[in-house]
Amino acid sequence: MKKVKVLNYFLTILLIGTGLISCNKNENSMRNPFFNELNQTIDFKSITVQHVTDATSEAINRAKENLNNIYTVSSDEKTFENTMRSLDNIYNDLMKVNEVISLLAYVHPDDEIRNKCLESTAEFGKFFNEISLSENLYKAVKTYSSSEEATRLTGANKKYLKETVEEFERNGFALPKEKRDKLKVIQDKLSDLGIQFDSNISSHKDFLIVTEDQIDGLPDDYKNAHRQEDGTYKIGMEYPSYIPFMKYSKSNEAREELAKKFKNIAADKNLDILKQILIEREKLAALLGYKTFAKYRTENRMAKNPQNVWNFENSLKEKVHTKAERDYKELLDVKQKYIGDNSIKKIDSWEASFYNNILLKDKYELDNQKLKEYFEVGNVIDGLFKIAQHLYGVKFEEVKNPSVWSDEVRFYEVKENDELIARFYLDLFPRENKFNHAACFGMISGKMAGDEYQIPTASLVCNFPKATDDMPALMPHNDVETFFHEFGHLMHDLLTKAELVSQSGTNVVRDFVEMPSQIFENWAWNYEALTLFAKHYDTGEVLPKDLHDKMIAARNVGSGLHTLQQIFYGTLDMTYHDKYDANGAKSTTELVKELQNEITLYKFQQGTHFEAGFGHLNGYAAGYYGYLWAKVFAEDMFSVFEQNGIMDQKTGLKLKKVVLERGSTIDEMEIVKEFLGREPNEKAFLKSIGL
């Protein structure tokens, strides 16, 4: 997941970037950790609540001054530098403060700082809405676009100007001022609602207390990490706690209860908020002249319109349904044998992972508990680094004793030909009140800053199992795959060479942003790559080839069921935004039940409200389809590595140059075609899921 704070729906091409605050020599700035000289690091340890407050107000005030400078340039003196690059710099300056504050709102261990960061994120959101509806700014950009210099622009600068004008005009500047004022009210409300929605998910606290009998089946390291003084076990909603319990606990009742709690994350608060979000999005679309919010959202993405998304989802659903039915039958056979009753005809959703694990162990002879012994976290990090460094011709060097927001966080520099080109943070383990999924958080985007290049910086925030007193931190292979996925986002953010912040790194259309992450997952499966780091934590033995063969044989076990689940998520998201009346009689939960029962082979679990904790409904509104959409391109592009060699540096450097360095400086479909040397197709994707 690429964690992108899209704070309004106007000028999206501009607002999903990160940036660096310009140097200001006043005394307040020099004391505030959020304000640094170009390419200096942030002193996270010294950040206080007051620093957050001051940085927010100063960044906004500075932006207002710089915007006024654009407005006051006379029509005949407007240039790309004093209008368009100045606008890019303003967003860059704002987003550097906003993105770091947004990160801290999800990861800082201090409650007061986290809460203040959430408040500041809301304040920034309202200011971005104000900018995006500025008539003075629109007039300045529009006037420049008619100048003689503008007609001579080429390449990325021409694209930037064109898309900026289009976004203004697509998003309200054909409307009279009173309607634009209404849009701002809607946008401000959506900003607040979105922040509340995400915050309620990340701050939700629930758990299940289980007995020794109910935890039977879990490994000792898991038990040791969850055991309480009274001998019971506390199972939380974090992935390292939830996923193993669902996979290994022999207690069907406990798994059912835990699944119910998990599918009710933030349900006490977010059901009402989600309804309000959907209502406001409907209002926004109607005010802008779009029949649905999905039409508005897809218009400037690769999909172009909702119908192309529906065609994609429905076509894929038909292709994978037969495979999903075979997967279901295979699981059902396992359940019948396990219980000793051939009359059983149904598998519930909370049983699927448990029986899938038995299937892997018995039929495919793949024991995930044995397998994770080859994936100690330190070894995985080292191996992943070796692969990325080799493919992209860079080096990662850890910075000792860095200033970080938690002592668990590690900090690295990225060098190319001994030159510092990027930095990143790794925050890999669960903490109380920390963001509980896995995501790449942008902090500072690459861009030209005068004669120097602004060094991009980003963070990987994950929740992998921690070491215990008697066992090192061992990663299930699905966590290894997740780590590679998020690192793919990180490389996209960090290896950029784009001149403008609005086009750098992951600032691409949303239905392409998951391509670089999903292609990199493949190295977590290839044996040549795995031998670099998959070593037994105790003996140092390299992952045996026969165990890897079992991994590959089992890779597409359940792939049809998994793909149907992804289609369900994408269909739910698209239905909410294209075919659903939030003011109507049908609740958001009733739609979840209807679509889950129609698309997946697992029946809806009564008493649950999955949508309340489905964070993608905020950040990926009408865009979740992009995961599968981008995976088609990712698998097609990975086929080039399969042809040339998984560790072929020439192909890796081509991916770096054509995709990662470019950002959105050219059309994303042209990027795909250039890398492939042909039109893309779905053959490799279908093959990857066993079709």
Cα 226 from Cα 230, distance rounded (Å): 12
Helix %, strand %, coil % of the chain (to 5):
60, 10, 35
Strand order in the sheet with 395-398: 2-3, 439-444, 457-461, 419-427, 410-416, 395-398
Question: What letter would DSSP give residue 16?
Answer: T
Amino acid found at 542: V
Own/partner contacts of 678-684, CB < 8 Å, gap of 24 or more, are 680/632, 680/633, 680/636, 681/636, 682/632, 682/636, 683/636, 684/635, 684/636, 684/638, 684/639
| Cβ neighbour number for residue 467 with a 10 Å cutoff | 15
Full 3-state SS string of 212-238: CCCCCCCCHHHHHHHECCCCCEEEECC
Side chain identity at residue 665, one-letter code: T
Crossing angle (nearest 10°) for helices 155-170 and 135-145 = 140
Q: Are 278 and 577 in contact (CB under 8 A)?
A: yes
**In the chain, what is the straight-line distance between the N-terminal and C-terminal CA atoms, in Å?**
26
Cβ 165 vs Cβ 142: under 8 Å: yes
680 alpha-carbon distance from chain centroid:
24
Catalytic residues: 486
Dist CA 508 CA 517 (whole Å): 13
- Treating both helix axes as pointing N-terminal to C-terminal, what angle do 588-599 and 559-578 enclose, rounded to 10 degrees? 140
Give me the amino acid identity at 114.
R
Non-local CB neighbours of 562 within 8 Å, separated by 6+ positions: 689
